[in-house]
Chain A
Amino acid sequence: SSELTQDPAVSVALGQTVRMTCQGDSLRNYYANWFQQKAGQAPVVVIYAKTNRPSGIPDRFSGSGSGNTASLTITGAQAEDEADYYCNSRDSSGYQVFGGGTKLTVL
């Protein structure tokens, strides 16, 4: 099955913009989804099908991508955005795959 690669950790100053990336061959053919997971909680989808934001998710979250790379951008990061972020996609066999996750620290 294919793999998705994420940077282990990123940091951002309060109110600034941060972009997290996810790389993998499957992203050339299938959309990425992004999940936010806070400590002790189940993940929550923040972006699906590369660019779509579920209702209730602040519009500071946005998704993009090209080729084998998907990106999650937080514009004007808030303290409550500090969490682990996981990308997810599927491969040609229908198997689901997650990236290793990025730990976001808001300074």
Chain B
Amino acid sequence: QLQLQESGPGLVKPSETLSLTCSVSGGSITSRSCYWVWIRQPPGKGLEWIGSIFYNGDTYYKPSLKSRITMSVDTSKSQFSLRLTSVTAADTAVYFCARLGFNYPFDPWGQGTLVTVSS
């Protein structure tokens, strides 16, 4: 079945760029019936949708983060990625990747990866 796995540095310095990759296996990243998304969860807090990307590169970004976010997809590697610039301690969170179907909500999810912003 479809599986997603996040990867990337667990520690990023303030003002630098957070970069994460989600590897998709057991299914096609070029599906025309879903988006690929990033969601984050600060320690002890709720879920926050960050953005969604279609296989052709079309994106939706959370408006409050739009100026700092870039999402991309590499169909040859079956991966999609997140870049978040100028990070601060407020960006410390568990970052999840997930699939969002046109008629089905976020499922499956990756296991999540904790990214800490600290010097």
What is the CA–CA distance of A48 and B104 in the complex, to the nearest angstrom? Answer: 7
What is the CA–CA distance of A97 and B48 in the complex, to the nearest angstrom? Answer: 7
Residues in chain B near residue A1, CB distance under 8 A: 62-63
A61: Cβ under 8 A from any B Cβ: no
| Closest CB in chain B relative to A66 CB, distance in Å | 20
Number of interface residues of A (CB under 8 A): 21
A58: Cβ under 8 A from any B Cβ: no
User: In the complex, are the beta carbons of A98 and B49 less than 8 A apart?
Assistant: yes
The prevalent SS among residues of B at the interface is: strand
User: In the complex, are the beta carbons of B49 and A96 less than 8 A apart?
Assistant: yes
**Given contact pairs A42-B110, A42-B111, A101 touches B47 in the complex (Cβ within 8 A):** yes
User: In the complex, are the beta carbons of A98 and B60 less than 8 A apart?
Assistant: no
Near B by CB (< 8 A), chain A positions 29-86 give: 33, 35, 37, 42-45, 48-49, 54, 86
What is the CA–CA distance of A35 and B104 in the complex, to the nearest angstrom? Answer: 12
What residue of chain A has the Cβ atom nearest to residue B63's Cβ?
A: A1
What is the CA–CA distance of A98 and B49 in the complex, to the nearest angstrom? Answer: 7
Task: Classify chain B: how many residues form its interface, as a range.
Answer: 20 to 34
**Given contact pairs A95-B62, A95-B63, A96-B52, A45 touches B47 in the complex (Cβ within 8 A):** no
| Closest CB in chain B relative to A86 CB, distance in Å | 5
User: In the complex, are the beta carbons of A98 and B109 less than 8 A apart?
Assistant: no
What residue of chain A has the Cβ atom nearest to residue B60's Cβ?
A: A94
Near A by CB (< 8 A), chain B positions 65-110 give: 96, 100, 103-107, 109-110
| Closest CB in chain A relative to B107 CB, distance in Å | 5
User: In the complex, are the beta carbons of B105 and A45 less than 8 A apart?
Assistant: yes
User: In the complex, are the beta carbons of A42 and B47 less than 8 A apart?
Assistant: no
5 contacts between A and B (CB under 8 A): A33-B106, A86-B47, A94-B60, A95-B60, A96-B60
Q: Which residues in B have some Cβ–Cβ distance to A below 8 Å?
A: 37, 46-49, 52, 60, 62-63, 96, 100, 103-107, 109-112
